[in-house]
Structure 1
Amino acid sequence: MGSHQDAAAAAGVVVRELREIGEFKQVYRLFDEIWHPEPRNVPAPVELMIGFAHTGNYVAGAFDGDTLVGASVGFLAADRALHSHVTGAAAIGRGVGYVLKQHQRTWCLERGLDKITWTFDPLVRRNARFNLVKLGARPEQYLADFYGVMADAINEGDASDRLLAVWRIGPGDEGEMGGEPPRRTYPLLWEAEDGRPVAAAGKAAGAAVSIATPSDVETLRRTDPEAAKDWRTAVREALGGAMEAGGHVVGFTDRGEYVVLIN
């Protein structure tokens, strides 16, 4: 895995830790532009970022010249981990999120930390693919309605179910999923022609199952809220149920499906 400097150079940005109040205000404005949250629901208040940075936690920004184009805020957690609370980039597809994750990894290794954790919406395909395939993180817990009601332009009107991603980066661990996921799977949840979820009758045991996701849940929340809610419920029951029963997520397919090994 390349260094964060290589990733930053490829993306045309410089990443550094932030220390000044003016920098934290820039992060606040960037997050506001991404999520458009209500005042009671900001992802990281300036005062919190100041406290985190002052006490040795992680607050970093990616700059294109003098312009802040991405930022990440995290805090030290139990079991030699950094919990990455919020990460955002001004433009999708430029690679700034990957650069920030690589910077986090270097930051953690310099401090003897073994893993980085964060949460993400299991319905958002691009995030699942980035976390599981590009980084090699592993979802280890399904968290139903984890944050409660979230009043922002992206999440409003939907339950805040999340997967807890764990990216292991300790010595001898390259942070990648081990081996190839099974090629033959039993479809536990798939997408019908009308775009709605369809669940298999009964539960699979002792097999590898596939659990589909909607192609673009963020658009679906605006255009067909009922279908988005159907997907939330279906994935919670299929993926959440499989993980609660001891299943392990071992991959994410090009078709947008979680691959889970059922014990």
Structure 2
Amino acid sequence: MTNELIIKSLSTLEDLQEVQQLEILVWGMDCVPTHQTLTAVKNGGIVLGGYINNQLVGFQYSFPGFKDGKVFLCSHLLAIHPDHQKKGYGRLLKVAQKEEALKKGYHLITWTYDPLESVNANLNIGKLKAVCRTYMEDCYGELKGALNEGLSTDRFMVEWNLEQETESDEQLTDKATHIVTTEMNEQGFPFIEDYSLETTAEVVAIPIPTEIQKIKKENLSLAIDWRVKTSELFQTLFSKGYVVVGIERKQGENIQNYLLKKTE
């Protein structure tokens, strides 16, 4: 028995059917049809499976994208079995995805995620060094499943340049200006007390809670308040030329900060 994650590229109908079952387990909503994933992998797409002792515990699904005359890889799903989450397997699947993408000639991978989900933020921005300059309001409309229930499906659309060097989060943190004031409520949850949209700072820090799902379950109105206020903050800053480029994260704290750098 071993806990080593073995990652392999998947292309058979049987493997993709297994992926579909894991998708249903993790997301609890309508799944991608196997005829879609099968067609994608035959035409430039990538499906990777992560296995522990020959059991599928995670997968990643992506397909080719095209915009403004450029081809890129659109990463649509990344899922880890609930019994194996927070073990670094998501990062390993993304690193393997990068390697496969480069083999196929891709230089850019894009995907969406909920900007209030701190674990995803830490992986996508903090570890993989993807960047974000696009905020999509209610991107998918109403989605089924506990993860999405109760909040609008706002999303960051991130860009992962596979061959670009990035500035360290420590350097960015030292330069960051905090334009949002947070406090704690009687439940022990953080909330945004005040913020300013008037800034010309080179680097700006925008907080998010580290446990949005817990907040949503116990105080939905507070979760909605986080959504509404961060939506305004991100969209305003993006319109001024700021780009999310890093994460400031401290162990044990109930908020973490996105670091946005002015590029225009």
Bigger drift between 251-260 and 98-107 goes to: 251-260
Partner of residue 244 from structure 2, selected from 240, 249, 259: 249
Deviation, 1:177, is 4.0
Q: Is the 8 A contact 1:73 1:86 kept in 2?
A: yes
Q: Is the 8 A contact 1:138 1:177 kept in 2?
A: no
Deviation, 1:74, is 0.5
Deviation, 1:178, is 6.2
Cα distance in structure 2, aligned partners of 1:237 and 1:129? 21
Note if 1:84 corresponds to 2:75: yes
1:251 counterpart letter in structure 2 = G
Partner of residue 148 from structure 2, selected from 129, 150, 155: 155
Cα distance in structure 1, aligned partners of 2:134 and 2:88? 26
1:108 is matched with: 101
Q: Which runs of 5+ in 2 are unaligned?
A: 251-255
TM-score with structure 1 length normalisation?
Answer: 0.87
1:260 is matched with: 260
2:22 is matched with: 30
2:8 is matched with: 16
Note if 1:96 corresponds to 2:84: no
Cα distance in structure 2, aligned partners of 1:99 and 1:11? 13
**Secondary structure at the counterpart of residue 122 of structure 1:** coil
Deviation, 1:182, is 4.6
Q: Is the 8 A contact 2:177 2:201 kept in 1?
A: no
CA distance change for structure 1 residues 67 and 189 in 2, over 3 Å: closer, same or farther? Answer: same
**Secondary structure at the counterpart of residue 102 of structure 1:** helix
2:253 is matched with: none
Deviation, 1:220, is 1.3
Partner of residue 49 from structure 1, selected from 34, 37, 42: 37
Note if 1:191 corresponds to 2:179: no
Cα distance in structure 2, aligned partners of 1:34 and 1:189? 34
* Deviations 1:208-255 (CA, angstroms, capped at 9, x unpaired): 321110120011111111110000001101122111221122321015
Deviation, 1:199, is 2.9
Cα distance in structure 1, aligned partners of 2:239 and 2:106? 27
TM-score with structure 2 length normalisation?
Answer: 0.86
Partner of residue 144 from structure 1, selected from 129, 137, 140: 137
Cα distance in structure 1, aligned partners of 2:16 and 2:108? 25
1:134 is matched with: 127
Cα distance in structure 2, aligned partners of 1:110 and 1:70? 22
* Deviations 1:175-228 (CA, angstroms, capped at 9, x unpaired): x44672151433222431112222324521244321110120011111111110
Cα distance in structure 2, aligned partners of 1:74 and 1:81? 10
**Secondary structure at the counterpart of residue 179 of structure 2:** strand
**Secondary structure at the counterpart of residue 87 of structure 2:** coil
CA distance change for structure 1 residues 184 and 131 in 2, over 3 Å: closer, same or farther? Answer: same
Partner of residue 121 from structure 1, selected from 98, 114, 122: 114
Q: Is the 8 A contact 2:51 2:58 kept in 1?
A: yes
**Secondary structure at the counterpart of residue 160 of structure 1:** coil
CA RMSD of aligned residues (A): 2.0
1:85 counterpart letter in structure 2 = H
Q: Is the 8 A contact 1:75 1:84 kept in 2?
A: yes
**Secondary structure at the counterpart of residue 219 of structure 1:** helix
Cα distance in structure 2, aligned partners of 1:215 and 1:182? 18
Bigger drift between 243-252 and 223-232 goes to: 243-252
Whichever structure has more strand as a proportion of its residues is 2
CA distance change for structure 1 residues 25 and 245 in 2, over 3 Å: closer, same or farther? Answer: same
